[in-house]
Structure 1
């Protein structure tokens, strides 16, 4: 699936080579025109996380190359092999040497790349802390940055929602890539009138999630977490939530499997905004739920977080949906569907830790500089 989506994305971005536009602007001076040109920035450094190690190469490479830049990809030290395989495919094309480049290693390699005066733009997807370090490293050269630094996506379920649809979409959004996605549904605010039904049904669905090795069984819906450290971090997050008063509906611990780092699909009810799990990103299949009385309350709680990448709302009332869209402080809002952006859209965030986006037709211009020419006739 990731390979197919990657190819589709590259095809989509290649279509924009004929659609990059400049402008001719009327000047205040007589007999003068102002020409606005779009020009390549130069060398782009694409620094990858481990959670989508194949597709994210294309998401950084395609817009860079389409706009005339060269790129240096630095994969995560946790998942470098995908990048090496991608590079083999690139080597089979007629792309000139030096246009697509790969460097691998740990943080010191990334630091050397981001501090280099030869790099003109840095596109990074990953943690807030690493993003802060990249900003500091790039600052002496005033290097242009494009950062996507995490998410804590709220899902709002109102009394008039299609509960079956909401349960399926939120559950799918929570277990995708084992919950290791920045725009996953990370917390739920459900209106009191449907809370009991929603919690019962989402718990049943999470319990039935088939997890295991997807290479051995095509029916598997959820694989393992990336490593032991990630597994223990999710476990600690759940234990802290329970200690703070959350109620365990299902899951709650490390799965008893002979191999792999599997955490049981988990639902926590009785949560509130005093709990860490409602504000801190949890990279695992854990869904905390808080009951609310009104849409206003749900919106206020949703915005009470430093992350601002994605959000969603489930309702049959269009006016309520539009009201939420206007007030939710997130770059993306999904209405009655799972959290996952379309390539022709714009993957973007707001606030410190939701900054992001070089996707879609608008994000393409992140990879271009603007040249203004004044021509007197």
Structure 2
């Protein structure tokens, strides 16, 4: 598949020459070779994009259009992206290394589902309702928050982009998207799709750039809200900037989720589902179940079964449909993962499989899928987000102890419990302090809120709650004799 380079930025529905000659190179992590370049946006380009979004919000038709009209435009965007889902999946795999089977489902098709959901929700949402007040009738309005800065990561670039863009469009906001500098190509595909729709000029603007320019965008006084997905360190910085400006923000940050295997677990049924839950996207997923909590009575049985299953995973070319584990997205990420493997060994944990670079692959930023056993929850490998194909198996004494270990984390994004008794699983789920949870599986329901407790973030995406995050609410008090 030939990958296209770009020379312009997408601002105000036009392809605009960037203000500098800076370029970003996109590196295929499986080959370590550059596959394309795009312009690197500067602060001047941010100013131009924000001005376009500001004008589109303050003077354009988008905020005042009906929900049905905006829903129709969002549906047009969905249909434009659907014209080449396999090509989109291949592009993202070449950008960041996802196995192609994961890219088809989660990188290319899932954004379509999100768009379709918010297209429908925009049509159904009551943007203005009349209520009886305490003294006189009131009119309550859901009004768009304004210009939104959407800053997205490299691990699920188009999907995380859509978690922000789709509800923002449904609400009537205008958007400036800053994709990660390593994965800008899918954002350009999005821009090309927008050109095929009736979305007015300035409503969506796309400017690939690095961290410094991203911080300038966050700080921009004409931006009303920031929606960010990424690391806790970057999220903390963004949150502090937004706090100082009293600016709205949604932060979806890290995770260190625990999969609790109860004493009655059926390993034959569970392990095939647990592997993708723990190692999805080569372990580069904030919701990955990277801590496996096993009952002490069955610990060795679970360790042996999990170790054998992980050892049999196929590591290789991510474009090959038989590949289970592809490369990490960048050389620096491989170095990070390898450093944590050494930390785990130094802390006294034992590698039961993996822990090295695959010997059969001469190129690519690969690390073997790795299982650590005899892990204590106080170890760094059990507490810090590694963001690679590394799983820690932690023993527990009883269910109360399992819940305590699962909750003993700075994060609270996701989690799972595996048991033959679904009601018992539900009881466990109620006790875990995370934003999403699954009994006997790994799910992310797009019609329901997604987000985290503690350092996993602030606010929610998806569902009605994801739309609400892009509203300001207005109450208009009417005369006592006003008819409702």
Deviation at 1:363, TM superposition (A): 1.6
Q: Conserved in 2, the CA contact under 8 Å of 1:151 and 1:354?
A: no
Q: Conserved in 2, the CA contact under 8 Å of 1:309 and 1:355?
A: no
Deviation at 1:91, TM superposition (A): 1.5
Match of 2:131 among 25, 30, 37: 25
Deviations 1:152-174 (A, max 9, x none): 00000011112123212221112
- Residue 438 of structure 2 is matched in structure 1 by 334
2-structure distance, mates of 1:366, 1:249: 44
Please state if 1:237 is matched with 2:340: yes
Give SS of 2:251's match.
Answer: strand
Match of 2:455 among 333, 340, 352: 352
- Aligned alpha-carbon RMSD (Å): 1.4
Say which is worse superposed, 67-76 or 135-144, in terms of deviation: 135-144
Q: Conserved in 1, the CA contact under 8 Å of 2:325 and 2:369?
A: no
Q: Conserved in 1, the CA contact under 8 Å of 2:422 and 2:439?
A: no
Assess, with a 3 A threshold, how the Cα gap between structure 1 residues 252 and 80 changes in structure 2: closer, same or farther. Answer: same
Deviation at 1:108, TM superposition (A): 1.4
Deviation at 1:118, TM superposition (A): 0.8
Deviations 1:165-208 (A, max 9, x none): 32122211122110000001110111123222211111111111
- Residue 366 of structure 1 is matched in structure 2 by 469
2-structure distance, mates of 1:239, 1:170: 25
Give SS of 2:345's match.
Answer: helix
- Residue 324 of structure 2 is matched in structure 1 by 221
2-structure distance, mates of 1:118, 1:132: 21
Query: Which runs of structure 1 show a deviation greater than 3 angstroms over 4 or more consecutive aligned residues?
Result: 22-25
Deviations 1:234-255 (A, max 9, x none): 1111111111111111001222
Match of 2:174 among 67, 70, 73: 70
Please state if 1:91 is matched with 2:195: yes
Give SS of 2:458's match.
Answer: coil
1-structure distance, mates of 2:251, 2:441: 26
Assess, with a 3 A threshold, how the Cα gap between structure 1 residues 218 and 354 changes in structure 2: closer, same or farther. Answer: same
Give SS of 1:123's match.
Answer: strand
Deviation at 1:45, TM superposition (A): 0.8
Unaligned runs of 5+ in 2: 1-103
- Residue 221 of structure 2 is matched in structure 1 by 117
Deviation at 1:23, TM superposition (A): 4.0
2-structure distance, mates of 1:281, 1:353: 11
Deviation at 1:15, TM superposition (A): 0.2
Q: Conserved in 2, the CA contact under 8 Å of 1:16 and 1:66?
A: yes
- Residue 5 of structure 1 is matched in structure 2 by 110
Deviations 1:97-142 (A, max 9, x none): 1001011211111111110111111110000010111112223321
Deviation at 1:310, TM superposition (A): 0.3
2-structure distance, mates of 1:164, 1:9: 33
Assess, with a 3 A threshold, how the Cα gap between structure 1 residues 6 and 151 changes in structure 2: closer, same or farther. Answer: same
Deviation at 1:356, TM superposition (A): 4.7
Say which is worse superposed, 60-69 or 359-368, in terms of deviation: 359-368
1-structure distance, mates of 2:213, 2:335: 27
The correspondence of residues 1-377 of structure 1 with structure 2, limited to 5 A, is 1=104, 2-21=107-126, 22-29=128-135, 32-215=136-319, 217-256=320-359, 257-338=361-442, 340-376=443-479, 377=481
Unaligned runs of 5+ in 1: none
Deviation at 1:147, TM superposition (A): 0.4
